[in-house]
Amino acid sequence: MSLRILFHNCRLLHPLHGGDRIRTYQMLRELRKRHHITYLTLRTPLDAPEAVEQATEYCHGLIAVPHPVKNQRSLAFYLEVLGNTLWGRYPFLGRKYLSREITRRLAEFASPQQQPPFDLLVCDYLAPMVNFLELRQRPTVPTLLFQHNVESVIFKRHADTAKHPLKRALYRRQWKMLRKFEQRSANFVDGQVAVSEPDAACFRDEFGMRNVLGAVPTGVDCDYFQPPAQPATKPVLAFLGSMDWDANQDAVTWFAGEILPRIRAKVPAAEFLVIGRNPPTSLRALAEKDPGIRITGTVPDVRPLMAEAAAMVLPLRIGGGTRIKVYEAMAMGAPVISTTIGAEGLDITHGKNLLLGDTAEAFAHETIALLSEPARATAIAAEARRHVAENYSWGRVSEIFADYCAQAAAARRP
């Protein structure tokens, strides 16, 4: 059955940097083959004109509402975060996307009497739920929330690891606000979908939410991410991720300071390659001090750099949801060493298609062993490629999400 879906997100999807944007883009591209997608989003001054033009790749109709944005390194931004933490109705993660015009549009579309009617309203991410919660009443059209993370868990991890007392206090307050926001959002919608079984279990079992339909696994484009023609010849350890995200900054800093020296004690030629947009000055300083560390910044295509890697490393200590970059590395035939948090929610097996280490010592040990045993590294990489190619195409993943959409669309409130 073909559905008419209003899909609300907080941003246009191009450029396709960041696993969350890639996930939504790939799934919508598949969904629009069978369903009619209207994409309702905010448009900021940072969005390029081509981002609007490229929306035709993933939707049939686009409604882009202008929305201001503050420089995240400005005093005004930090004051807004502080004010929101002290007095806000919504956590800042959602408050910054609050739009009266979006809420007005949702109110128009939320009734089955409107023409053309929609069969389902989808909110992509938790953050845009602020615009649904501003409605005076729940929509009569069924509503589905696609949760890319358990956001409150991420902020609790930030609070637990923050060293500065003020930063720790801000994260702790935002964590508590997020828990209330997650619960209000869950009570508002007909169904919820997570990106991993552990996330779905957290919503269902720990938070007591009764409308969790299930989980949609991470996908990967194995035609795009192909193993390189020639294997890497140097002990290059690569990290892939947006470097304007706190969790990735923490991972890179921890690896460079605590793990890399341990690796170099056994493999002196080991290099660290950091691939990702918008690295802050503090990370660029690492490369200035150590010629064996490269910080690339934004690149047009990550694959040539990933092809240099003898292994991909993901030393995340903070985070949630699932990491698309793990499956991308596996698709390229690169062995992956990760923390448990870095591979959280993914269908992987330690020692078979990926290696895990949660302390600096354990992570370094696994990396050294992999670099010292080329045959083992090749076997793990080959099994990883086979595993994702057979099980996690975007077509297969999107079919799972489409089934949840059909379930939610069939729901009707008493």
Asked if pLDDT for residue 364 goes beyond 90, the answer is yes
Tell me the three-class secondary structure of 37-71, residue by residue: EEEEEEECCCCCHHHHHHHHHCCCEEEEEECCCCC
- For residue 371, the model assigns a pLDDT of 95
Least confident of 24-33, 62-71, 103-112, 332-341: 103-112
- For residue 202, the model assigns a pLDDT of 95
Calculate mean pLDDT across residues 381-408: 94
Q: Rounded to the nearest 5°, which phi and psi values hold at 237?
A: -110, 115
User: What token pair was written down for 269?
Assistant: 């030629």
Confidence tier at 350 by pLDDT (50, 70, 90): very high
Q: Are residues 206 and 240 in the same domain?
A: no
Looking at per-residue pLDDT, the higher value among 192 and 161 belongs to 192
Q: Are residues 345 and 378 in the same domain?
A: yes
Q: Are 54 and 42 in contact (CB under 8 A)?
A: no
CA angle centred on 330, ends 325 and 332, rounded to 5°: 95
Half-sphere CA count of 277, side-chain side, radius 13 A: 10
User: What token pair was written down for 411?
Assistant: 């729901």
Q: Are residues 295 and 182 in the same domain?
A: no
Averaging pLDDT over each range in 139-148, 152-161, 339-348, which range is the top one?
139-148
- pLDDT (tens digit per residue) in 46-96: 899 999 999 999 999 999 999 998 777 777 777 888 888 888 889 998 999
Mean pLDDT of the chain: 91
Domain hosting 294: range is: 236-391
Q: Are 123 and 132 in contact (CB under 8 A)?
A: yes
Listed in sequence order, the DSSP H helices in 54-210 are 75-87, 92-95, 100-109, 129-133, 151-161, 165-188, 197-201
Q: How far is CA 259 from CA 22, 238, 272, 334, 402, in A?
A: 30, 13, 11, 19, 42
Asked if pLDDT for residue 7 goes beyond 90, the answer is yes
Asked if pLDDT for residue 129 goes beyond 60, the answer is yes
Q: Are residues 165 and 28 in the same domain?
A: yes
Asked if pLDDT for residue 322 goes beyond 70, the answer is no
By percentage, how much of the chain surpasses pLDDT 90? 73
Q: Are residues 384 and 262 in the same domain?
A: yes
Confidence tier at 223 by pLDDT (50, 70, 90): very high
DSSP type of residue 336: E
Asked if pLDDT for residue 116 goes beyond 70, the answer is no
Inside any domain, residue 414: no
Q: Are residues 62 and 202 in the same domain?
A: yes
Inside any domain, residue 171: yes
CATH (domain of 290): 3.40.50.2000
Sheet containing 36-43: order of strands = 61-66, 36-43, 4-8, 120-124, 143-146, 191-194, 212-215
Asked if pLDDT for residue 413 goes beyond 60, the answer is no
Task: Compute the distance between CA of residue 411 and CA of residue 155 in angstroms, rounded to an integer.
Answer: 32
By percentage, how much of the chain surpasses pLDDT 70? 97
Listed in sequence order, the DSSP H helices in 265-359 are 281-289, 303-306, 324-331
- For residue 414, the model assigns a pLDDT of 44
Burial of residue 253 (number of CB atoms within 10 Å: 0-12, 13-18, 19+) = middle
Does the pTM exceed 0.75? Answer: yes
Q: Are residues 62 and 191 in the same domain?
A: yes
Domain count, the chain: 2
Least confident of 85-94, 185-194, 261-270, 364-373: 85-94
Residue 277, H or E segment: none
Q: Are residues 188 and 302 in the same domain?
A: no
Q: Are residues 101 and 154 in the same domain?
A: yes
Asked if pLDDT for residue 11 goes beyond 80, the answer is yes
Q: Are residues 277 and 187 in the same domain?
A: no
Asked if pLDDT for residue 193 goes beyond 60, the answer is yes
Looking at per-residue pLDDT, the higher value among 318 and 310 belongs to 310
Calculate mean pLDDT across residues 390-412: 92
Inside any domain, residue 224: no
Calculate mean pLDDT across residues 255-283: 95
Q: Are residues 402 and 333 in the same domain?
A: no
Q: How far is CA 31 from CA 56, 58, 286, 395, 398, in A?
A: 13, 8, 43, 9, 7
Inside any domain, residue 223: no
Inside any domain, residue 228: no
Q: Are residues 214 and 240 in the same domain?
A: no
Calculate mean pLDDT across residues 30-51: 95
Inside any domain, residue 135: yes
Inside any domain, residue 226: no
Inside any domain, residue 35: yes
Task: Compute the distance between CA of residue 122 and CA of residue 144 in angstroms, rounded to an integer.
Answer: 5
